Amino acid sequence: MGYNAFQILKEGLTGNKGWRPVWRDPEPKSEYDIIIIGGGGHGLSTAYYLAKNHGLTNIAVIEKGYIGGGNVGRNTTIVRANYLLPGNSEFYSHSLKLWESMEQDLNYNAMHSARGLINLFHSDGQRDAFSRRGNMMCNQGDDAILLDREGVRKHLPYLDFENHRFPVYGGLYHPRGGTARHDAVAWGYARGADQLGVDIIQQCEVTGIDVHDGKVQGVQTSRGTIRAKRVGIVVAGRSSQVAAMAGLEVPIESHILQAFVTEGLKPTVDHVVSFGMGHFYLSQSDKGGLVFGGDLDFYASYAQRGNLPMMEHVMEAGMSLVPAIGKAKVLRSWGGIMDMTPDGSFIIDRTSVDGLYMDCGWCYGGFKAVPASGWCMAHLMAEDKLHEVAAKHTFERFRTGHGLMDEEGTGSQHNLH
């Protein structure tokens, strides 16, 4: 079913009875050419680009829950390309370009909104670091503008400019950064993949990975055995558990990240604002809720909910940056499971099992990566070659220590990135 203005008008005038489910609900076949484990943003975009860019359509995406039920529907929706290090810089730049044409490509409204993102800085040293980052962004062909304190005040008049602990010195403005409606991104890719012939199988948990003579043979699922010569593990926070089904150990710890949303308010916050010093960031959804979050809860866990100490920390940081936020009622909070690597950068690579590939280690930044991750993982699975914009993101850097991409400069500790 295509979407266009005429159809919306017709359906609106005839009781909206003509809409149909936008992807099928097929029974799993006994064999596919390719199985993707995980129907999150990355798994669905991988399936879509395998079909669209490489003409491979005998594919199943196996999802244990429902489409959009994982992190792809739990994040705070920030999309940006403001990375510093070679490897990350070109990858996220590629991703942002795909975001900018995604809705036309999928014919699906993902509410991508390039409302601009401002990273605040609070010291001379931080200003230097952000200038350097901004130069790197411009060299990469992306956009960055260094704002002084008055420049920030013009865009974000509601900040507390009298905060003496963290005085606002300025900000790095990234106008093409912004947000998108997270679950619509999953639905758009699911619909696009389904239209190209991909089977999306929900409520089907992978419980084992069959390996014989070092080669992948298929998967065991709650709905029976499914054979395939190529299998992609794309399960975000469950990466180490699913990799263990094939006897693999991966350098990932799973940690909880929480987010919060307030009651709907009139339009106030036009940008995405990041207050790294205080571990707090903020945007306003199209429904009017203030959406904000902070750092990881500081213990490893597979629970999809967080705890009170981090909640308190986030509220305090929010109050110190935007005192008016204290007037808004928080309606909901939730948590998601983050697949944290030791250097904070992701992995798209083959594994030591022939035909078994992994896309993981997105830490808390994988939403913005959804298009490029699928693009590069599809390239790898179709051609058995690393894509040039993700070529540095292999397991090898953790074996040798060469080529680590520690964007935050926090050292090799999973939960500090």
Ligand X SMILES: Cc1cc2nc3c(=O)[nH]c(=O)nc-3n(C[C@H](O)[C@H](O)[C@H](O)COP(=O)(O)OP(=O)(O)OC[C@H]3O[C@@H](n4cnc5c(N)ncnc54)[C@H](O)[C@@H]3O)c2cc1C
Site string for ligand X, 362-381 (x = CB under 6 A): x-xxxxx-------------
Contact between 345 and ligand X per CB under 6 A: no
Site string for ligand X, 217-236 (x = CB under 6 A): -----------------xxx
Site string for ligand X, 59-98 (x = CB under 6 A): ---xxxx---xxxx-xxxxx--------------------
The size of the chain, in residues, is 417
CB-nearer residue toward ligand X: 276 or 323: 276
Contacting residues for 199 by C-beta, under 8 A, at least 6 apart: 24, 26, 28, 29, 32, 59, 60, 61
Site string for ligand X, 255-294 (x = CB under 6 A): --xxx---------------------------------x-
Total interface residues for ligand X by CB under 6 A: 39
Dist CA 312 CA 271 (whole Å): 24
At its nearest, how many Å lie between ligand X and the CB of residue 17?
31
Contact between 118 and ligand X per CB under 6 A: no
Give whole-number Cα distances, 413 to 71, 335, 343, 409, in Å.
22, 21, 7, 10
At its nearest, how many Å lie between ligand X and the CB of residue 376?
14
* 238, 271, 379, 417: residue in contact with ligand X (rule CB under 6 A): 238
Give whole-number Cα distances, 18 to 90, 185, 195, in Å.
43, 23, 18
Q: Restricting to residues 14-43, which ones interact with ligand X according to CB under 6 A?
A: 37-43
Contact between 336 and ligand X per CB under 6 A: yes
Q: Are 360 and 235 in contact (CB under 8 A)?
A: yes
Dist CA 305 CA 310 (whole Å): 11
CB-nearer residue toward ligand X: 163 or 241: 241
Nearest of 71, 85, 77 to residue 343 by alpha carbon: 85
Contact between 414 and ligand X per CB under 6 A: no
Dist CA 91 CA 276 (whole Å): 22
Q: What distance lies between CA 337 and its chain's CA centroid? A: 12
Give whole-number Cα distances, 9 to 15, 22, 232, in Å.
10, 19, 41
Contact between 392 and ligand X per CB under 6 A: no
Residue nearest to ligand X (CB): 40
Q: Are 363 and 75 in contact (CB under 8 A)?
A: no
At its nearest, how many Å lie between ligand X and the CB of residue 328?
18
CB-nearer residue toward ligand X: 97 or 127: 97
Q: Are 125 and 281 in contact (CB under 8 A)?
A: no
- Chain residues in the site for ligand X (CB under 6 A): 37-43, 62-65, 69-72, 74-78, 205-206, 234-238, 242, 257-259, 293, 336, 362, 364-368
